[in-house]
Structure 1
């Protein structure tokens, strides 16, 4: 890397056209100016100027170097301008969250992008451990999870509570507290199926519920939007956030089991501490609060 001081001396010399004026402007001696030029020539292996008495002429390489310095200075000026110009309608919106939250939030984010084409929505549905790592690696700006990471690198805010529901086919009637009747339907498993079932079934049927593995699995669905489809067709039951059922197109074919002990989980918004979010996230935060309340 070329020494910035040498480059500044050379650019000033070209601008003033005088070793004396350059020395005065930079508070150097004339031999010091000459030494910086010589060091640049040695570093580049090229002659940069031809001296003619007190005058000098730039060589082809000297002209190229001066243009390079000007280009670098302009790039730096442009970069500094971009840093100060925080346009609320330009740039990437990077969010990582659960699949259920993605379904609630994504339509609002798309509407925002439709209004401001300079925005780029980058939403990834991921489990909590993946979201934590994405935040650490600066692959996302904010994460929304049901787990508080409790790490000093993060700033975490409680957004609210999200109800978890046991969802059944609408035609099925399960008496309150009848785990046998419920389990006989069979379970529609999914990536968060164990976590949700342990929370809800473990709380409401502590004597009968042993584990997700002990239930008969009537299917496994990896796509969140499709998990309730087999339930709507009477194939089994599942456990999901209430918002997933609310967003399901055929929700009239579903019903929610009445529980003696309703279960909800906290939602946390996490971001890197000491890193201010760009202005474009002001409106995004409003949309997140609307989606979680």
Structure 2
């Protein structure tokens, strides 16, 4: 393996074009610069042609100079990734459920606008995938709806997310028969969420499966589209409802005891959060999302 000091000497010599200036620039003797070049050329062959007032790189010298610059850039990238002190550059990685993700992603982009050196990497996923991604170090931060008991993870309360019964704005919902007339817009968690919430709104109801199905979508950002068009009602977490652009076209039906889920922030317990992750959590707290940042 080539000595890193030899690489720095060669790069500086190529830039300075003179042994004396190179020695002064690096704080070395001219003899040390010459010795470094002898070591390199003994392994790589001729790298420079020495002329009285000029040094000229050979083809091998040009190739080696490109290699030296690649090594220098790789070293800078490594130092950046290892640096916990740099909160303004690098990646913030987060994996979360889709509902809260609709709100989180745009708020993190707001942070990136202020700190353009940051890169936001965010994925929507269910709880089991979130746990696996954080434990395998593919994402630094994760959000789950069930608090894990794995000793490798730290879990802290992030936010509370109530379920909401959402109907078209022009429709009135007072009785179970109103839901029967509307019909249900389903989604992957729709029936489970509706069962939990509707038992509070309409005690003794005959069950969500007795209602006519008016539509289904597995895209969290599109579930409220048929509701806004008057095709039916649905049950969603509040963050998903708040992310819908046309709030004037939908109605949150009040009534009954609330059903509130907790969201838990998780990350690895064996090492501290990066400064970038800490900056992101501070930003989210300022935006009113993170309770314990």
* TM-score in same-fold range (> 0.5): yes
- Counterpart in 1 of 2:144? 145
- Counterpart in 2 of 1:161? 160
- Counterpart in 2 of 1:32? none
Which of 175, 195, 198 lines up with 1:198 in the alignment? 195
Per-residue CA shift, 1:212-260, capped at 9, x if unaligned? 5443211112222221111111110001122332332221121122222
- Counterpart in 2 of 1:270? 266
Gaps of 5+ in 1: 12-57
Gaps of 5+ in 2: 7-37, 45-63
Which of 172, 179, 182 lines up with 1:182 in the alignment? 179
Q: Is the 8 A contact 2:159 2:289 kept in 1?
A: no
Q: Is the 8 A contact 1:93 1:121 kept in 2?
A: yes
Q: Distance in 1 between matches of 2:117 and 2:136?
A: 25
Q: Distance in 1 between matches of 2:108 and 2:195?
A: 32
The SS at the match of 1:226 is coil
> How far 1:158 sits from its partner (Å)?
0.8
Q: TM-score, normalising length from structure 2?
A: 0.69
> How far 1:154 sits from its partner (Å)?
1.1
Q: Which has the larger radius of gyration?
A: 1
Alpha-carbon spacing, 1:194–1:273, altered in 2? closer, same or farther (3 Å): farther
- Counterpart in 1 of 2:228? 232
Alpha-carbon spacing, 1:60–1:232, altered in 2? closer, same or farther (3 Å): closer
Q: What is the alpha-carbon root mean square deviation over aligned residues? A: 3.2
Per-residue CA shift, 1:55-85, capped at 9, x if unaligned? xxx8999635xxx9xx8x9899868854346
Q: Distance in 1 between matches of 2:76 and 2:280?
A: 27
Q: Is the 8 A contact 2:161 2:237 kept in 1?
A: yes
Q: Distance in 2 between matches of 1:268 and 1:247?
A: 20
- Counterpart in 2 of 1:93? 92
- Counterpart in 1 of 2:275? 279
Q: Distance in 1 between matches of 2:281 and 2:140?
A: 12
> How far 1:111 sits from its partner (Å)?
1.8
Alpha-carbon spacing, 1:209–1:201, altered in 2? closer, same or farther (3 Å): farther
Q: TM-score, normalising length from structure 1?
A: 0.69
Per-residue CA shift, 1:16-62, capped at 9, x if unaligned? xxxxxxxxxxxxxxxxxxxxxxxxxxxxxxxxxxxxxxxxxx89996
Alpha-carbon spacing, 1:183–1:61, altered in 2? closer, same or farther (3 Å): farther
Q: Distance in 2 between matches of 1:275 and 1:120?
A: 21
Q: Distance in 2 between matches of 1:227 and 1:74?
A: 49
- Counterpart in 2 of 1:245? 241
> Aligned pairs, how many?
235
Q: Distance in 2 between matches of 1:106 and 1:271?
A: 18
> How far 1:185 sits from its partner (Å)?
1.4
Q: Is the 8 A contact 1:95 1:140 kept in 2?
A: yes
